[in-house]
Amino acid sequence: MTRHILTTGLAVLGLLAASTGTAPAQETDTRPNILVVVVDDAAFMDFGAYGGEARTPAIDALARRGMLFTAHRSTPLCAPSRAMLLTGLDAHRAGVGTIPEVIPPEHRGAPGYRLSLDPSVATIAESLQEAGYYTAMTGKWHLGHGAGETPDAQGFERSFALDASGADNWEQKSYMPYYRGAPWFEDGQPATLPEDFYSSRFIVDRMIDYLDAPERDGRPFFAYVAFQAIHIPLQVDPAYTDTYVDTYAGGWDALREDRLDRAIDLGFVAPDTTLAETPDRLRPWDSLTEEQRTLYTRSMAVNAGMLEAMDAHLGRLIDHLDATGALDNTLIIVTSDNGPEPSHPVGEPGFRFWMARNGISWDVETLGEPGTTAFIGPEWAFAAASPFNLFKFYASEGGLRVPLVMAGPGVAQGGRVDAATSVADIAPTLADAAGIDTGPARFTGRSLAGLLAGAPDTGFAERSIGFEVSGNAAFVQGRWKLVRNLAPWGSGEWQLFDIETDPGETTDLGDNEPLVLARMIASYNEWAETAGVLAMPEGYSVHRQIFRNAIRRQLSFYWPWLAGIALVLAGGIGMIVFSRRRKTHSG
């Protein structure tokens, strides 16, 4: 009953097209356009519609005329989430079980750990392209840049893509030592950014160019827009930043409580919801010096300003669709790939040296401007994830629970979906919207068409959903959630929570519910085996692995230069030894 409810008449047209192998005639092709927008590292409550502090009028307007999801989960890391979004499969089955920056050498090249989409897996872009859609993507890809790995080989007719976890937002350069530069590609070929580049503006401008291109020729489109905002480095025009300094002057402890209160007022969590204890590793706001408070307040202001700027550019794209008459027939999806980013890169070994070498500053006076880096760090990330626990990379709700807004044809207006949904559900939903009958075995996700049309929650309440990234794992089944987080923010042991009554994950029920715990672990293990999850090597540390992988990459970049120095040194030492021996023999 839930399949093909999204648009009854449109679906019939689409099915006819799929059955004959051709799209309907261009003048009568009324299938919906599709726009999928991914915001990078946005917390559950970051958008204004979810109670966030940043002004996001474009996203808020979509929420008012569409559906807002309150129990939507993604993986806790960017590339696995994007792989699931584009394929409708578990991340490991799609070939992207983790990211290159954190993978241990024992996992490299293993099935599920290609770090690029598996060639045997079809993306939703390929399916839509085959069904007669014009397909385009702009922004962050992070799913491979080798032969056959860029978007043009994955179903996108046009693309301008960044294959990295992030990059500078003002220039074509890296943001961390793992990368030598910023690898941008247009239609699979290395590309150069314009002089006036700013990521959110450019990503939207290029998408508008693609949608207006003559080769679209009246076809319905699938547009995938993947912003760099609000991934590290946080960068935006100071005019956006300045308006948020007072907003965050109270510090991260106050923000965490404020967001809990707003979540309760908005009905996202029950009135008796409590917050998890703050880890000892996180600094209380009142322990900071005045200088530190000024810097970190400004950092969070840049974060909010960058989000507002991104929303403004998204608004330009939506206005363009309206001006060209496409908006009313465009299904729009806006979500985040994972929870807020806790990294504090300036504290990592060698990062300040790398910054000095690349002319990058971390000064409060210029924070967010060209030539700077900025980030919110673990304390702000922990607060931003409220009312949930922890943040990006970890399998607690703060890492998994993300915003999801849908609007357009087939979507009930002003509604809210409280059902448990997953990032893997987006691809089958798009297939339904386009009237593509892929068969029941194509996806591990489920179409949301029925929920979007206002149908009852048929089967979502008790569904099982598994996630795993680099040892951090979760398995959700109805009210129960099984969680395991590795160090430094977890114990590595399984915990059991009643996620309905305890969304903050404050009380481990494993000892009280041993049968439930055993059943959930068995269910997780069964899912993990099917998905192709590998156990982590003994003693794995994500921070240590990032450092080792970055060093390995730097050596690969500069080995000819280092080898030349080594040869010169060896030659010099040899000459000294030879000279001394001659003197010895002559004496």
Q: Which backbone phi and psi does 134 adopt, to 5 degrees?
A: -85, 125
* Beta strands 33-39 and 221-226, pairing class: parallel
Asked whether the beta carbons of 394 and 348 are under 8 A apart, the reply is: no
Nearest-angstrom CA–CA distance, 274 and 387: 8
47 in the Ramachandran plot: left (φ > 0), alpha (ψ -120 to 50) or beta?
beta
Cβ contacts of residue 442 below 8 Å, gap of 6+? 88, 428, 431
Please identify which residue in the block is written with the tokens 């089944």. Answer: 477
CA gyration radius for the chain?
A: 25
Per this entry, what is the length of the chain? 587
CB neighbour burial string for 364-391, b if at least 16 within 10 angstroms, e if fewer: beebbbeebbbbbbbbbbbbbbbbbbbb
Residue 380 CA to residue 551 CA, distance in Å, equals 28
Q: Please state, in angstroms and rounded to a whole number, the distance separating the CA atoms of residues 582 and 587.
A: 8
β-bridge partners, 331: 34
| Phi, then psi, of 423 in degrees rounded to 5 | -60, -25
Tokens representing 441 are 């075995």
DSSP 122-159: PPHHHHHHHTT-EEEEEEE--S--STTTSGGGTT-SEE
Q: Token digits for 313?
A: 């550019």
Question: Residues with catalytic annotation?
Answer: 78, 142
* Residue 195 CB neighbours (<10 A): 7
Query: What would the DSSP string read from start to end of 344-405?
Result: -GGGSTTHHHHHHHTT-B--TTTTTSTTB----HHHHHHHHTTTSSS-TTSSSHHHHB--EE
